[in-house]
Structures are given as C-alpha cells and as structure tokens.
C-alpha cells in the first residue's frame, strides 16, 4: 500500500458489510475455511473419500507410525494433563526456549481467540487484506474494532521480501507466509513493526512447510519483545487437522493470562499423545520438515509450470504449499464444474476481502493428484 493510504474501520460484530452484500448478490456465500468435506460430500451426493480436497493446504505425507501408535495407545479414561507440560517442553526445546514461553492450543484458531482478547483491549486491529478470515472472527468475540488495509495483488517473486507500507494502528495481525497469497515476508522487513505497534500477532502456521522458511521466523525475537506473539500449527506440517494442535510463543506473563481464561482441558489426550510422539526426537522432526519442504518446492514449481501454460489463467508466485490462481474471467463456473464432474475441491476466494470471483486457491497434493487437478482444469477451462 502506498504511503498515506487510508484504511476502513469495520464494525466488530458485522464483519465486512460491503463484502457480505457483494457475495450475497453473486450467490451462496463461500466457506471461510477449506476442508469442509462432510458438508460438501452431502451436497454433491457422494462419500467424502471420493473427493480430492485441494481447498485445504495440508502436507499429504503418511503420518509416521510412532504417531499412529501413540494415537491408538492414548489413555482415554483419566483427564488430560491441564498443564500440557510434556508437550510444552518438547515444543520449547525445538526453538531453544523456556517452556513458560510456549502455550499449546486446540489448533491455532483457539489461540487466535485469546490473542484477540488482548488485542481488543488495546484498540483497533489492523488486518491486511486479503487475509485469513479467522482473525476477524476472533476479534468479534470481544467486540474488537477492525481496521483494514489493502495488499497489492501483483507480485513478481516468491522469495522473502519487504512488506508494503501499512497505516498505523495499535495492533497488527500478519501472516507469514501470507494466506492466501503465499507471499513470504523477510524477518528484516517484519522486525521494525515491533516498534510501530503495541502488539504484533504473527501467524506462522505455514512457515515450517516453506524451504528455508525458519530463517524468517519471528520466534527468536519473542524473548526481547513483550509485544510479540507468534502462533504456529502442527496440523499443516503433519496433515493432522482433525486433531487440532497449535501453539503460541510469547512471554510468560501473557501466556499465563491466556491459560487462566481458557477452558480447563483445551488439549485432548489423543492429540497430546500424537504431538508428543511427533516431537520427541528433534532429529526426526527436522528430517520430516526437510521432506515436507522438498515436496513444497517440487510440487509448487511443477504446478506453476503447468498452470502458466493455460491461456487466461495466471498462477501467482508462492513460497507456501498453496498458490493463488487468477483468471481473466469468473472462475466460479470452473470451480463448480470441478466439484460436480471431477469431485475436485478448490478454495473459493470470495471469502477473502479484496478478492472476487476471478480468484481460486489450490493446495498442493501428491504429484499423482496434482496431475489429476491440472488435467481437470485443462478440460474445463479450455472446453467448458
């Protein structure tokens, strides 16, 4: 955004009135999250396992057998450990932190809710758009005011780069790599924001899947900056979205406050057991990250080449395990045809403020499934 640009203040409980009105005129308001297999299968009249789901962005690799064994052996009768200390300690060790600086959560979404409570108390939150809708959902829980600023919808590279200039606000929510654009911001570009905002909430859910992405993480800055919160997810990296495991990294006083607000048992015993099995051996975890990052790089480059060959479609550069696809005309008929005729789900991007019916997001799959997606896109786009 250019210097001096303006931003809109939206009502906390109403969301984006303009966007809601625009979407309702175009038809059904799209889902704000991908991966809604059960409801989509009911609508299409098929079994969920018949669907190829590229609307969610998860690593497609088979879960390590130790984690599957841990899920089977998880104790179900006693209550879970309310402190989650074993899991906190394992996560802290990965990042070279004290366990008091880590708080596991019922997915990143639960942690956004507590971050939003802190944010709402400080004043308006700046949400760069297009952006992940769950930040607004979390702020509405606490009547938090929202201020938006547009991000450019044209970028040349997936390499770490500078963040566009943003207007001042007490709180900033930022995603790295950005969702849904896939742009990767450099740590050098993000660090000055800690001097401009009273609170910076950085969502790094996809960063472990990005080749060499850890070099851009803000986690090393948390110890020196009380106004920084970094939120991570294990579900994207390990493809276990159904278990709901995420964690926040922040200074202990903030996390102790969140722990006092939340439900007594936010992490169930099965999720805790699986997460501990995945993280118990740091070398195995690092090897898994390298494997996933190689998949991201290989499939991203392949999909970019294949999709760039289709006239009228532009795949945007992405550092993440998903990419935005821009069309010269509406892509709603294309997405609907892929669902009906090919049982392939892509992410409808009209739920992202600032994106319209010309945009779709594709989550990377295995090469075999990516070939299926490209083949179906070619057939429906070139011969609708």
Mean pLDDT of 336-341: 96
Q: Please tell me the distance from the alpha carbon of residue 189 to that of residue 174, in angstroms, as a whole number.
A: 12
Contact predicate 161/186, CB 8 Å: yes
Host H or E run for residue 188: helix 187-190
Q: How far is CA 11 from CA 36, 165, 199, in A?
A: 28, 24, 20
pLDDT digits (tens, 9 = 90+) for 220-273: 999 999 999 999 999 999 999 999 999 999 999 999 999 999 999 999 999 999
Phi-psi category of residue 104: left, alpha or beta, with phi > 0 → left and psi -120 to 50 → alpha: beta
**What's the 3-state SS for 128-167?**
EECCCCHHHHHHHCCCCCEEEEECCCCCCCCCCECCCCCC
Q: In DSSP terms, which residues pair with 248 in a beta bridge?
A: 103, 231
Distance, in Å, from the CA atom of 118 to the CA atom of 253, rounded to the nearest integer, reads: 12
Q: What DSSP line would sit under 278-314, residue for residue?
A: HHSSHHHHHHHHHHHHHHHHHHHHHHHHHHHTSTTEE
Q: Where are the domains of the chain?
A: 16-60+285-382, 77-281
Hey, what are 39's tokens? 């409801």
- pLDDT of amino acid 37: 80
pLDDT exceeding 90 applies to what percent of the chain?
81
User: Cα–Cα distance between 353 and 158 in angstroms, integer?
Assistant: 22
The predicted-structure confidence for 265-324, as pLDDT tens digits, reads as follows 999 999 999 999 999 999 999 999 999 999 999 999 999 999 999 999 999 999 999 999
Cα end-to-end span (Å), the chain: 37
* Tens of pLDDT, residues 145-200: 999 999 999 999 999 989 999 999 999 999 999 999 999 999 999 999 999 999 99
Mean of pLDDT over the chain: 90
* pLDDT bucket at 39, cuts 50 / 70 / 90: confident
Residue 185 DSSP symbol: B
Q: State how far the alpha carbon of 186 is from the alpha carbons of 87, 159, 165, 203, in Å.
A: 29, 9, 14, 14
Residue 27 — left, alpha, or beta (φ > 0 → left; ψ -120 to 50 → alpha)?
Answer: left
- In 3D, which of 270, 237, 293, 268 has the Cα closest to residue 68? 270
Q: Is the pLDDT of residue 379 over 50?
A: yes
Asked if 145 and 124 touch (Cβ cutoff 8 Å), the reply is yes
Q: Give the integer Cα–Cα distance in Å for 27 and 285.
A: 44
Residues in the chain: 384
Q: Quote the pTM value.
A: 0.90
φ/ψ of 16, rounded to 5, equals -90, 100
User: Measured over all CA atoms, what is the biggest interatomic distance in the chain, rounded to whole angstroms?
Assistant: 59
Q: How far apart are CA 69 and CA 72, in angstroms?
A: 5
3 state DSSP class of 237: helix
Domain 77-281 has CATH 1.10.10.10: no
Percentage of residues of the chain with pLDDT beyond 70 = 91
217 touches 209 (CB < 8 A):
no
pLDDT per position as a tens digit, 16-36: 333 333 333 344 556 655 667
Q: Are strands 146-150 and 125-129 parallel, antiparallel or unpaired?
A: parallel
Tell me phi and psi for residue 287, to 5 degrees.
Answer: -65, -40
User: What integer pLDDT is reported at residue 18 of this predicted model?
Assistant: 38
**Fold for the domain defined by 16-60+285-382:** 3.90.1150
For the chain, how big is the Rg over CA atoms in Å? 20
């Amino acid at each position: 955004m250019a210097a001096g640009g303006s931003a809109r203040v939206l009502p906390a409980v109403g969301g984006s009135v303009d966007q809601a009105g625009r979407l309702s005129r175009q038809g059904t308001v799209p889902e704000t999250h991908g991966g809604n297999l059960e409801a989509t299968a009911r609508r299409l009249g098929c079994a969920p396992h018949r669907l190829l789901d590229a609307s969610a962005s998860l690593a497609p690799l088979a879960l390590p057998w130790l984690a599957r064994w841990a899920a089977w052996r998880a104790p179900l009768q006693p209550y879970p450990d309310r402190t989650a200390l074993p899991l906190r300690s394992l996560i802290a060790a990965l990042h070279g932190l004290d366990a008091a600086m880590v708080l596991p959560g019922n997915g990143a979404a639960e942690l956004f809710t507590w971050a939003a409570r802190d944010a709402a108390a400080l004043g308006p939150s700046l949400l760069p758009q297009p952006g992940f809708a769950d930040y607004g959902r979390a702020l509405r829980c606490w009547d938090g005011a929202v201020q938006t600023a547009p991000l450019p919808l044209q970028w040349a590279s997936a390499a770490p780069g500078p963040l566009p200039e943003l207007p001042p606000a007490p709180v900033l929510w930022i995603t790295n790599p950005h969702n849904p654009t896939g742009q990767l911001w450099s740590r050098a570009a993000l660090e000055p924001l800690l001097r401009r905002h009273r609170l910076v909430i950085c969502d790094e859910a996809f960063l472990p899947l990005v080749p060499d992405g850890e070099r851009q993480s803000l986690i090393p800055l948390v110890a020196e900056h009380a106004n920084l919160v970094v939120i991570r997810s294990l579900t994207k990296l390990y493809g276990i979205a159904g278990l709901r495991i995420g964690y926040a990294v922040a200074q202990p006083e903030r996390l102790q406050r969140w722990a006092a607000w939340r439900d007594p048992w936010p992490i169930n015993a099965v999720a805790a057991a699986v997460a501990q099995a995945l993280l118990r051996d740091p070398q195995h975890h690092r090897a898994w990250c390298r494997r996933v990052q190689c998949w991201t790089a290989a499939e991203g480059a392949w999909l970019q080449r294949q999709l760039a060959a289709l006239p009228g479609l532009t795949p945007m550069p992405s550092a993440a395990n998903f990419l935005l696809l821009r069309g010269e005309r509406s892509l709603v008929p294309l997405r609907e045809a892929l669902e009906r005729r090919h049982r392939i789900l892509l992410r409808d991007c009209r739920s992202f403020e600032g994106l319209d019916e010309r945009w779709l997001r594709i989550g990377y799959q295995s090469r075999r499934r990516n070939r299926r997606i490209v083949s179906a896109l070619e057939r429906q786009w070139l011969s609708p």
